Amino acid sequence: MRNFNEFTITDAVVERVGNASDPRIREISEAVVRHLHALVREVRPTQDEWMAAVNFLTRTGQMCNDKRQEFILLSDTLGISMLVDAINHEQSKGATETTVLGPFYVESPPEHELGDNISPGMEGAPLFVSGSVSSTDGAPLVGAVVDVWHSDDDGYYDVQQPDDVEGLTMRARFHADGNGRFHFWTIKPAAYPIPHDGPVGDMLEAQGRHPWRPAHVHFMISAPGHERLVTHVFVAGDQYLDSDAVFGVKDSLIHDFVEHPAGTAPDGTTVDRRYFELTYDFKLNKD
């Protein structure tokens, strides 16, 4: 087969990728070819525009390293991450809703005891976080693994911090107690822009969009016999709730971070300045 043109090239490529031995690879490859070819026919790019697209993807890959994943940012800001999440997480009634993982999760975070301060020495208003983990039938999930991570008072994660901040902070792994409960201290996170000094930032600017995310705390929770939960809890009243750069906000995940004056906190800790409290109960789907 040869002498392909605008109207015959697609079927020829689909026929060739149809030789894949793995049926799923064949299905995905055929769909990718069909949709990409349809996109090209719709927008009819010039040669220069197509090379600009190639260069954009090249730059995106070149920005990736052990502290930054530009392709995740691209997926997030195009709404693909949330679309994949929606396809894969049809929630049963009563289960906590999911949202994007984001680019700042770190595998095997530091293990902490319940009640620990996971942000020692960091500037910011103290935040007391407590909650529970249960199945959708209400049964507490004893020993559930609770991973948490969030930004600092200026909107930066530990992996973005300068060299004078040692180690991982504002992230931890806890194990729920015998009642499925957990609690810890940290600092109140701030809204922040996703990294926008690379190709994804250039794309957002060209599209007339801002790079900001509303303030939130990330949670990843797992327990035997249940689906892993990846979600955030967002600060109620944040100015970016309706324009999150990665489309991750859901109403059920917006919660008050209640302000308290100096005094005795719920866990008995004496706090000498104003502090905030977040209480949230998580429910997991059964496998």
CATH number at residue 134: 2.60.130.10
65 lies in a domain? no
Secondary structure percentages of the chain, helix, strand, coil, to 5: 25, 25, 50
Same domain, residue pair 86 and 35: no
Structural domain boundaries enclosing 40: 1-44
Query: Which of 81-95, 96-110, 257-271 is the least confident region?
Result: 81-95
Dihedral of the alpha carbons of 82, 276, 177, 102, in degrees to the nearest 10: 20
Would you say residue 163 has pLDDT above 90?
A: no
How many angstroms separate the CA atoms of 226 and 231, rounded?
Answer: 15
150 lies in a domain? yes
Task: Give the three-state DSSP class for 91.
Answer: coil
pLDDT of residue 162: 61
Q: Indicate the average pLDDT of the chain.
A: 95
182 lies in a domain? yes
Place of tokens 């990846």: 230
Q: Which residue(s) pair with 31 in the sheet?
A: none
Same domain, residue pair 32 and 154: no
Same domain, residue pair 26 and 149: no
Same domain, residue pair 161 and 90: yes
Tally of domains in the chain: 2
Single pTM value for the model:
0.91
54 lies in a domain? no
102-135 per-position pLDDT tens digit: 888 989 999 999 999 999 989 999 999 999 999 9
Q: In what order do the strands lie in the sheet with 171-175?
A: 171-175, 145-150, 216-222, 229-235, 254-255
163 lies in a domain? yes
212-230 per-position pLDDT tens digit: 999 999 999 999 999 999 9
Same domain, residue pair 31 and 139: no
pLDDT of residue 269: 96
191 lies in a domain? yes
pLDDT of residue 90: 78
Exposure string over 124-155, b if 16+ CB within 10 A, otherwise e: bebbbbbbbbbbbeeebbeebbbbbbbbbbeb
Would you say residue 1 has pLDDT above 80?
A: no
How many angstroms separate the CA atoms of 45 and 55, rounded?
Answer: 14
How many angstroms separate the CA atoms of 210 and 231, rounded?
Answer: 22
Same domain, residue pair 167 and 39: no
Would you say residue 231 has pLDDT above 70?
A: yes
pLDDT of residue 222: 98
Same domain, residue pair 24 and 92: no
CB contact at 8 A, 215 and 170: no
pLDDT of residue 263: 97
Two tokens, residue 139 = 């049964």
Two tokens, residue 54 = 């190639």
Percentage of the residues of the chain whose pLDDT score is greater than 90: 88
Q: Which residue(s) pair with 220 in the sheet?
A: 147, 230
Two tokens, residue 28 = 């995905």
- What band does 260 get if pLDDT is binned at 50, 70 and 90? very high
Two tokens, residue 171 = 């992230």
Q: Which residue(s) pair with 181 in the sheet?
A: 132
164 lies in a domain? yes
pLDDT of residue 92: 67
pLDDT of residue 172: 97
167-224 per-position pLDDT tens digit: 789 999 999 999 999 999 999 999 999 999 999 999 999 999 999 999 999 999 999 9
Same domain, residue pair 33 and 170: no
Same domain, residue pair 140 and 239: yes
HSE, side-chain direction, 13 A CA sphere, residue 154: 8
